[in-house]
Structure 1
Amino acid sequence: MSTLLENDQAESISTPARRLQATMAAARLSFTWFGVRKSLSTRQRDQAADSFGAEGKFLSAGKKLLDTSHPAFRAVTAIRGQAIHFWKGMSLPFPEPGVRLIRQDAITHFDERIAQFQEDLGDAVVELEGRYDELRQAARERLGELYSAEDYPPTVVGMFEIDHDYPSVEPPHYLRQLCPELYEHECQRMQARFDDAVQLAEQAFFSELTHLVDHLTDRLSGQSDGKPKVFRDTAVTNLTEFFERFRLLNIRSSPQLDELVQRAQEIVVGVSPQQLRDSTNVRQQISAQLGAVQASLDGLLIDRPRRNILRRPR
């Protein structure tokens, strides 16, 4: 009952920026990660420069401490990629480095999933620790005289971590009493940040929809050696996943974008990848309909040029 009330209240908030402030929370994902690349020492750089007849100070060179293609190391880095993909998939961009906006009612789910990623990472690091001596020995053989035992910690346990927090994106309340003018200034500054966040959300949705529609249209209408192009299931499933994410995160700031998403969804709803492979008629029909959406997206791109918002000074 309370969730319905909160949704009704959110609907009644006049502007998209204020809806963002009322319904979203800032979430930051951070990593501690063992660096596998190290610059050469001055002596080593000079030696490398000599072989090319160059001066060491004009040469930049480094060495790779571990084989990152090793399955044990790849398993560790894969979890970082999965965590980032999850975080970005359930959030909207915000014009502060490393910060994104998630729905307040999704915080518990976000906490639980990050905790699972942390557990998975711990298990993967234990596996990597079991192969650490092997990886160091391989590095010793590959690096030759560039190998230095001092570059390697005694253990990799504790060298890889995932963390998250919820930084405040509101002015501190104590300023209201201490300095009302400064508090008002901070309120205006944060309001401008959320105005920018609305623009970033529109740009992100627009860019993703354009990419997905362009890709599927190309797969359906294009030919290779006189035959229809082969396309993966993801050409369709990625689009349907976008529709669901748009439904959950849409802030209703752009009627034109809302209409185009609705049109694209109606075109592909109930259509399976296998149907598109098996039926030329279905493939041609979907391609023509998506082509019209594609043209509308191109027109919207011309009318709404991308703004440079991220990291803009205030």
Structure 2
Amino acid sequence: MSTVTHHTQDQHSNDSSYQLRHSFSAMRLSFCWLGTRKSLSSDQLQQAANQFGAEGKFISAGKKLLDTGHPAMKGVSQLKRQITEYWKGGSLPYPEAGIRLVRHSDLDRLNQQMASYQEQLVLAVRELQANYDEIKELAAERLGGLFSESDYPVTLEGLFEVSWDFPSVEPPEYLRRLQPELYEQECQRVRSRFDEAVQLAEQAFVDELSGLVSHLGERLSGSDDGKPKVFRDSAVDNLREFFDRFGRLNVSSCPELDQLVERARDIVTGVGPSTLRSDSSLRQQVASQLSSVQSVLDGLMVDRPRRRILRG
């Protein structure tokens, strides 16, 4: 690779890192969540081990305290997933567990939606509390001798909560005055973290686009018993949602990825799921075009080193 190409890539990385650092804020999402399982006591483990002629210290076992399939329990669990998906969908990864980066222009909208989710969670927990006695009675029937009233809190208030804040990821300003050398070290550390955040974002976009393109292409080109495969509207809709999110969050760190996103967008622009189902020639055309995009994406995924994307 030429020196000019290396310089261009480094410049893109520096520009993107600067944009990410000055146009995004760190956001941390936290949950307080009552566990639904508990390990058996040592006596219970020994009883279980005796059934198999085993030693208690060499086995592990637990009991399910709450029926996660109960509608009221599913209500709070689904809301937790919805909150997490919304947070991740409107932000970029950051190399620190539990923290992601949110564009400044999205802060107000995201904060309002989180407040709405918080209110919804309060209502969902109230519904769960109203069914709490029933859920415990069912647990007593199913757990038999393993049931213990002491495993269950008297009230669920305060045991299912969501909170968020916007921690500073910049070096503390007082270090500049008190320890200039340490301050400079911290500045370098933060620069490195934002450089990594750019790479994590790029990798996440490539992986997601590849999955969406691959899925839609496989649905369009494949067949079952000689008939075109059935596909859901979401196969197309999810791709369009990706384009919108990419447009909001992209920091233009990878020109090749930008071009691929535009190519994929052009391919499905004006093409609806119903048209793809009824027009076989269009279906084949779109499948072929997506295949060419996928081949380039595969190259990007091979060429770029795999990095660990922190969950949370």
Q: Distance in 2 between matches of 1:267 and 1:138?
A: 53
Does structure 2 conserve the Cα–Cα contact (< 8 Å) formed by 1:17 and 1:195?
yes
Residue 128 (structure 1) aligns with: 128
Q: Render the CA deviation track for 1:95-116: whole Å, top value 9, x for unaligned.
A: 0001000001111111111110
| 2:156 counterpart letter in structure 1 | V
- Provide the C-alpha distance between the structure 2 equivalents of 1:63 and 1:36, rounded to a whole number of angstroms: 9
Aligned to 1:196: 196
Give CA-to-partner distance per residue, 1:118-140, whole Å, 9 cap, x none.
Answer: 10000011111111000000000
Figure out how many residues of one structure are paired with residues of the other and give that number.
Answer: 300
Corresponding position of 1:79: 79
Give the RMSD, CA atoms, in angstroms: 1.4
1:305 matched to 2:305: yes
* Maintained 8 Å contact 1:13/1:19: no
TM-score by length of 1: 0.93
Q: Report if the CA contact (8 A) 2:75-2:124 is conserved.
A: yes
Distance 1:109 1:184, change over 3 A: same
Q: Residue type of the partner of 1:44?
A: Q
Deviation at 1:298, TM superposition (A): 1.3
Structure 1 Cα separation of the partners of residues 127 and 299 of structure 2: 52
Per the normalisation by structure 2, the TM-score is 0.94
Cα contact 1:196–1:309 (8 A) shared by 2: no
Give the Å deviation of 1:310: 4.5
SS in 1 for 2:284: helix
The answer as to 2:133 corresponding to 1:142 is: no
Are residue 214 (structure 1) and residue 217 (structure 2) matched?
A: no
Report the Cα offset of residue 148 of structure 1: 0.4
Residue pairs, 1:4-83, within 5 angstroms: 15-83=15-83
CA distance in 2, matches of 1:194, 1:248: 18
**Tell me, which stretches of 5 or more residues in structure 1 are unaligned?**
1-11
Match of 2:7 in 1: none
CA distance in 1, matches of 2:76, 2:310: 30
Q: CA deviation at 1:305?
A: 2.7
Deviations 1:4-50 (A, max 9, x none): xxxxxxxx996111110110000011100011100000000000000
**Do the aligned residues in 2 keep the contact of 1:213 with 1:294 (CA within 8 Å)?**
yes
Shift of 1:299: 1.7
1:111 and 1:223 map into 2 onto residues whose CA distance is 45
Give distance in 2, aligned partners of 1:107 and 1:168.
15
Give the structure 2 partner of residue 151 of structure 1.
151
| Partner of residue 185, structure 2 | 185
CA distance in 2, matches of 1:212, 1:101: 23
Q: Distance in 1 between matches of 2:273 and 2:13?
A: 40
Q: CA–CA distance in 1 between the matches of 2:158 and 2:309?
A: 36
What's the CA shift string for 1:226-251, capped at 9, x where partnerless?
Answer: 11100000100000000000000000
Matched-pair contact (CA < 8 Å) for 2:94–2:200: yes
Give the unaligned 5+ runs of structure 2.
1-11
Indicate how the Cα distance of structure 1 residues 62 and 177 shifts in structure 2: closer, same or farther if over 3 A, else same: same
Q: 1:13 to 1:260 in 2, by over 3 A?
A: closer
1:160 is aligned to 160
Partner SS, residue 69 of structure 2: coil
Q: Percent identity?
A: 57
Decide whether the 8 Å contact of 2:13 with 2:198 is kept in 1.
no
Q: Which amino acid aligns with 2:165?
A: D
Q: Residue 172 of structure 1 aligns with which residue?
A: 172
Q: How many angstroms apart in 1 are the aligned matches of 2:75 and 2:114?
A: 17
